[in-house]
Structure 1
Amino acid sequence: MGNLFAKKSMNKMMAEANEHGVDTLERVLGPVQLTALGIGAVIGAGIFVLSGLGARTAGPSLMLAFVLSGLGCAFAGLCYAEFAAMIPLAGSAYTYAYATLGELIAWIIGWDLTLEYAMGASTVSSGWSNNFVEMLNIFHLKFPLWLAYDHWTGLRQATDMVARGMVLSSHPGMVPGTPAFSDAMDALKAAHPPELVTQAHALLNAPHLFGVEIGINVPAFLIALVITAVLVVGIKESAKFNATIVAIKVGIVLFVLGLGSHYITKSNWGTDWHSFAPFGVGGIGLAAGLVFFSYIGFDAVSTTAQEAKNPQRDLPIGIIVSLSICTLLYIGVAAVLTGMVPWREVNIEAPISRAFLDHNLAWASNVVTIGALAGLTSVMLVMLLGQSRVLYSMAHDGLLPKKFFGDIHHKFRTPWKGTILAGLLAAIVGSITPIDDIGKMVNIGTLLAFVIVCIAVIVLRRTDPDRARPFRTPWVPVVPALGILFNGYMMYKLGIWNWVRLVVWLIIGLVVYFTYSRKHSTLQQSLEAKESVEIK
């Protein structure tokens, strides 16, 4: 059992980081590209998708939810920066745990990161599809509901559309978008009249497979495959593609802040604490756990450590600068969104676009929709990039099949097989699973990774205090302890079912570890060989 917690030598890791050859990654990324990768992953889902879900959970205090999430990420980000500069390998939190907490914990984190990145890309592909459908509406093109959403989301959309028409016909003077209209819609859907159900299914008009109504999010499936192809072609090309998209979407976010600030109604923020935070501190904590997904991205920067020109200097810059910029933008957009639209009426699927539509700014809504498409595209790119690099690192340690996940394409110099597998997984899950369910799963997995990285910094400061640290996390152990506290609290607020999903996922991972990974681990094999020599 002692070997389960065997640690990988820091000296061996540094030697691996300095290796060159046909089976190693190419060092081509500088601080600007790394910061752009961080912004590319962070700005997207939080603003253009999950801000709507967060507003329904926290009300106007969504601003504080982003502050809480941002603090948790800031504390973890400082810990990531220390490790990224000290151990410039592609495995991110997996590699850091291997050096400090042992192989079994490293495996758990690596398996957990698979949940973060692949499922994160699935969530974003689903959000991308929502905005793609909105863009088609700009040109008066209709996409069949059962091909634009997974079955559950498509049925919900159809139900909302039918309910809206029924409320308007029964209350001709009622104005859509008002609190009274929203209450009437909620009451009708809660009553669940047979005609509502019948008309919703008729509008969905979905085919049946073995007697079961089906729905497939085709745009989500296709965009995941396109991004996968870009990543296979090469890291240079992927970085250029990402930088272009980042410039577009940051411009769109500044546009939202500038124009949206002119349509803020201060009363929408509430007149007292109760109206500002209708669900209290608990609601803020829950929303922080939900919108935490918005910040996933800065840790993906650390997965490109073996492709950074000067990782000791540039990785901390990429992590900290991207996180700082994105936190300020998120808080600003949360304030504008909840100021433009009463929190009960914020649209969950495309909150920013619909907010401008509510103010008869169709042209602005169109700009935001196009910006959201660009933003979510880069998020998927960085998520799938991070996933393939973690799989590559695990494969080089023998915990996954090296011939598959560690295989570098002779021309493109990318781990192409692992990239294709991760992309296919994201495409399939994103096309058949509701966005809110995937998002919650991703959040709890990422929070666990952050907690373990914070623990690892404290451990390594005690076990190897003299190790050279190009970047040092300030105020250890206070900063890592705060990271554990903040991120642990957000994990707690995500609820029992998300814990159940996480435990089930980790149990599956342990089965894989004990049936395959432990037997093929290069570290375990070297330890066994050493013990055999000592016995002889």
Structure 2
Amino acid sequence: MPTSRHKILSHIFNGICFKLNRTKRLSLDNTDLETPLKRCLTTFDITLLGVGHMVGAGIYVLTGTVAKDLAGPGIIISFILAGIASTLAALCYAEFGTRVPKAGSAYVYTYVSIGEFWAFVIGWNIVLEHMIGAASVARAWSGYVDSLLEGQISNFTKSLFGELYEGFFSKHPDLLSFCICIIYSTILATGVKSSALINSFLTGINLSVIILVIVVGFYFGKFSNWSNQKGGFLPYGLSGVMSGAATCFYAYVGFDCIATSGEEAQEPSKSIPVATTFAMSVVSLVYILVSAALTLMVPYSHINPNAALPDAFAEAGLHWVRYIIIIGAVCGMTTSLLGSLFSLPRCLYAMAEDGLIFKFFASINRTTQLPILNMVVSTLISAIIALVFDLEKLVEFMSIGTLLAYTIVSASVIILRYKPSMVTYTNTININKDSTPVAENLDSTSNTDVEVVYIGGKLKKNYYCLKPLVGNYKPGSAVSTAVFIYIVACALLCSNIYALPFTITDNWFTVFYIGFAIITMILCVVVIEAHEQNTAGLKFKVPLVPYLPALSILCNVELMANLNFLTWIRFILWMAIGFLVYFGYGIRHSKLNDSLSTYSVLLSPTEREKTDWGTISTKKTKSDLSSLYDDDTEPIIDSD
């Protein structure tokens, strides 16, 4: 009896573990995946969507707040560090955008590489990112206008509702931000193409204003504002720069909406990498130059965080520039809000389409080809958050989910690069019997299908010395294990890095602890590098894998380590709600429970065994062979 009970419990446990780790099976020929959404966005539309999302509240509100309270003129370094971390993550997103041209962004990427549970974790955090992103931009939009009107809106609200004294909530309800969310969501509901045209027009105005700000700011700026008499370039020290970088990261999160638009792009495999690369380059340069211009115009201690740029130019007597900046700020924050409200329902749609959250979020309106009901619910929640919560707390809360998503995407790029894939080829032309030892068993005119198995995940010949260590793993498994250990080592290092200068002589254990973490990280990268990559079918590839994705993981973990402790507590509470949704609904309604889905097919036990470590087989002709792998990816032909 105990034995039977043990078997039952073991069966249940194994079943749960299988469900948590099951992945989507995607064809290498995935560009023809059908979608109920409308594919109408060009590369230009998607690029400006990303630029507009990133160059909004970050320029006009966040820049002043970070410069005054966290980093001083060192905000330039903060934006450089945040930009590097974001660019590394953006490259990983771009590669995945060519692999998986679907809505859902990092959520879908994690689903095909790591597993369902982690995909839900990332998707749940992306929902938080865009929900709070929309609320924070609406709140910034309202605060900016209120500041220009010398507080008339807030004074009226206070007289009507009074003040709240709870720290996490705003001191008064923000009715204007609530209304702004509703209005802009209504614009998006008119259609993807029309809203993209509006976004492009407003982004063009915003960029023109920013160029004017940079040119005039440098012309009238004074390097004396960076001198020691005015507080110096780094008045808050290195810790201030790092804290500023963690907050400035908020300014770059908009590139996520480029990947989210993959299901509505005309040519996603081309548009997403191009749009991501160009948008990140433009935005990084803009943030660095505007930060320099602002801190050169006025000493950091004199900056008005609510209207930094207009007040800086007004203090210099350039009132005409002040009014132009107001126009740019309204346009910029409008496009930033449109970007968040655009991305949020599409992420919910992707999760609902897979059955992990409530099904009504996947309902598509036949006329507009948009998830209208989804948009209504998500907009109302964002509007309510904007109504009652404080902007600064929203920005902090948003950063942690974004950084976690970027970390997992970077890890997923490494994992998929070293995962073998299997493609079945139809023998429509003569097989060269000399090309492979296995081919000699086939008739030269046979119509028998053959399979090409890419050797991604196997040890390279010059690393056979590691075979006793990783030789018993299935192809790709050793790399996945090394990535997990690498992330843990990064967390150990980043949580203790600041203690090193003070404890190198006083606390030998800390030095050993940090040294152990660094050595572990290096060994993990060596183990990953020792395996063959699989780049079959990739039209865009992250360069220097695994080094750049590994650096991206380290940067993201370091920025997370600099976030406020209370931010982590709020994050844990948010994830607790998510786990209730997943284990109460998602794990039972997942489409991977069904026999067929958009991403999975029925497999025989033999087929499942063949593909449990790779992507699903798809039929191709032998003439397609040369286009599916690089020179460094060797195919092995085996009979089916």
Rounded to whole Å, the distance in 2 between the matches of 1:255 and 1:74 is: 25
Rounded to whole Å, the distance in 2 between the matches of 1:44 and 1:532 is: 48
Count of residue pairs the alignment pairs up = 470
Deviations, residues 374-425 of structure 1 (Å, cap 9, x unaligned): 10010111111111111111111011223x2111112111111111111111
2:184 aligned partner: 227
Rounded to whole Å, the distance in 1 between the matches of 2:129 and 2:120 is: 14
Distance change >3 Å, CA 418–CA 359, structure 1 → 2: same
Matches within 5 A, 1:87-102: 87-102=100-115
Distance change >3 Å, CA 210–CA 375, structure 1 → 2: closer
Quote how far apart the aligned CAs of 1:363 are. 2.6
1:289 aligned partner: 246
Rounded to whole Å, the distance in 1 between the matches of 2:112 and 2:165 is: 52
2:306 aligned partner: 349
- Is the partner of 2:537 in helix, strand or coil? coil
Structure 2, unaligned runs of 5 or more: 1-16, 421-533, 606-640
Q: Which region of structure 1 is more displaced relative to structure 2, 344-353 or 111-120?
A: 344-353
Matches within 5 A, 1:373-522: 373-402=330-359, 404-464=360-420, 465-522=534-591
1:160 aligned partner: none
- Is the Cα–Cα contact under 8 Å of residues 345 and 375 in structure 2 kept in the other structure? yes
Distance change >3 Å, CA 263–CA 415, structure 1 → 2: same
Rounded to whole Å, the distance in 1 between the matches of 2:354 and 2:249 is: 30
- Taking structure 2 as the reference length, the TM-score comes to 0.70
Distance change >3 Å, CA 488–CA 211, structure 1 → 2: closer
Quote how far apart the aligned CAs of 1:144 are. 4.4
Deviations, residues 118-141 of structure 1 (Å, cap 9, x unaligned): 10010000110122224545xxx9
1:171 aligned partner: none
Rounded to whole Å, the distance in 2 between the matches of 1:361 and 1:531 is: 69
Quote how far apart the aligned CAs of 1:321 are. 0.4
Rounded to whole Å, the distance in 1 between the matches of 2:196 and 2:81 is: 30
Rounded to whole Å, the distance in 2 between the matches of 1:472 and 1:309 is: 20
1:153 aligned partner: none
1:336 aligned partner: 293
1:29 aligned partner: 41
1:275 lines up with 2:232 in the alignment: yes
Q: Which amino acid aligns with 1:2?
A: F
Rounded to whole Å, the distance in 2 between the matches of 1:210 and 1:124 is: 21
- Is the Cα–Cα contact under 8 Å of residues 124 and 380 in structure 1 kept in the other structure? yes
- Is the Cα–Cα contact under 8 Å of residues 13 and 87 in structure 1 kept in the other structure? no
- Is the Cα–Cα contact under 8 Å of residues 162 and 172 in structure 2 kept in the other structure? no
1:178 aligned partner: none
- Is the partner of 2:173 in helix, strand or coil? coil
Deviations, residues 32-66 of structure 1 (Å, cap 9, x unaligned): 00100010101012111111121020111100000
Quote how far apart the aligned CAs of 1:11 are. 2.2
1:205 aligned partner: 159
Q: Which amino acid aligns with 2:366?
A: H
1:303 lines up with 2:260 in the alignment: yes
* Structure number having the greater helix percentage: 1
Quote how far apart the aligned CAs of 1:505 are. 1.1
Rounded to whole Å, the distance in 1 between the matches of 2:121 and 2:593 is: 16
- Is the Cα–Cα contact under 8 Å of residues 207 and 214 in structure 1 kept in the other structure? no
Q: Which has the higher contact order (CA 8 A, sep 6+)?
A: 1
Cα RMSD (Å)? 2.5
Distance change >3 Å, CA 224–CA 262, structure 1 → 2: same
Rounded to whole Å, the distance in 1 between the matches of 2:401 and 2:181 is: 21
1:325 lines up with 2:282 in the alignment: yes
1:358 aligned partner: 315
Rounded to whole Å, the distance in 1 between the matches of 2:255 and 2:248 is: 15
- Is the partner of 2:543 in helix, strand or coil? coil
2:62 aligned partner: 50
Distance change >3 Å, CA 341–CA 13, structure 1 → 2: farther
Identity rate, percent: 34
1:241 lines up with 2:198 in the alignment: yes
Q: Which amino acid aligns with 1:43?
A: V
Q: Which amino acid aligns with 2:265?
A: A
Rounded to whole Å, the distance in 2 between the matches of 1:146 and 1:494 is: 34
